[in-house]
Every structure is written in C-alpha cells, then in structure tokens.
C-alpha cells in the first residue's frame, strides 16, 4: 500500500514537471518528435512502475494469506492437542477408578470369613 502511494506521488511530481516546461516562442518551434519521445518514455515508465507495484501488492497479499493459514493451522493443532490431553486425562481417571474398585473388592473378599460348609 505504501509503495502504491509513493508511486502515485511520484507520478504527480512527474506530470507537474512536464506541465512546467517553458513555453515555446514563435521564433523557435518545439520539436514535436522530442516531446512525443518524452511522453512515450514517461508513459512506459508509468506502466512499468504500476506493474511493479501491482506485483508487489500481490506478493504481499499472498504472504499475508500464507501467514494467516499457518496461524490457523497452529490454532487447530493446539485445540486438538488440548482435546487429546483431556481425553487422556479422563481415560486415566477411569482406569484408576477401576483399579481402586478392584482393590477394594479384593480386600473385602480377603477380610470376609470363609463360608462354613455343614453337612
């Protein structure tokens, strides 16, 4: 964007410089070929500058898009990691609860007296 503004300002100064060329006197006619050549050169320069500016703007936009995509990918990866961590935590909690219940059941079975069998 800054390059575009700089190009436009440079173009304004260039046109102002051409507009202030000294007026030709009736005794010395201006060389139309030289004026046409200068105008053609100025036009070519303006086109080249505009093309460079357009290319630079496109490149900057492309870079910004790539950076935005990269940031989005990082955010998605972080969210996935957080979800996986929460799932692992829940699974570990469930496994610990099962192990604790199993240990309590084993303790209860060991502490209970053996049943008496009578005939």
Per-residue pLDDT band at 36 (split at 50, 70, 90): confident
- Is the pLDDT confidence value at 110 over 80? no
pLDDT band at 1 (very low <50, low <70, confident <90, very high): confident
Range in 35-39, 81-85, 114-118 the model is least confident about: 114-118
User: Would you say residue 31 has pLDDT above 80?
Assistant: no
Q: By C-alpha distance, which of 9, 70, 18, 12 is closest to 39?
A: 18
pLDDT band at residue 55, thresholds of 50, 70 and 90? very high
């Amino acid at each position: 964007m800054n390059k575009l503004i700089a190009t436009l300002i440079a173009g304004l100064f260039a046109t102002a410089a051409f507009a202030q060329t000294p007026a030709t006197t009736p005794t010395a006619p201006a060389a139309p070929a030289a004026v046409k050549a200068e105008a053609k050169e100025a036009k070519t320069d303006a086109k080249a500058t505009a093309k460079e500016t357009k290319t630079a703007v496109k490149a900057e936009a492309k870079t910004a898009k790539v950076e935005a995509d990269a940031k989005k990918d990082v955010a998605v990866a972080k969210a996935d990691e957080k979800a996986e961590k929460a799932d692992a935590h829940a699974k570990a909690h469930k496994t610990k609860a099962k192990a604790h219940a199993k240990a309590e059941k084993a303790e209860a079975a060991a502490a209970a007296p053996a049943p008496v069998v009578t005939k």
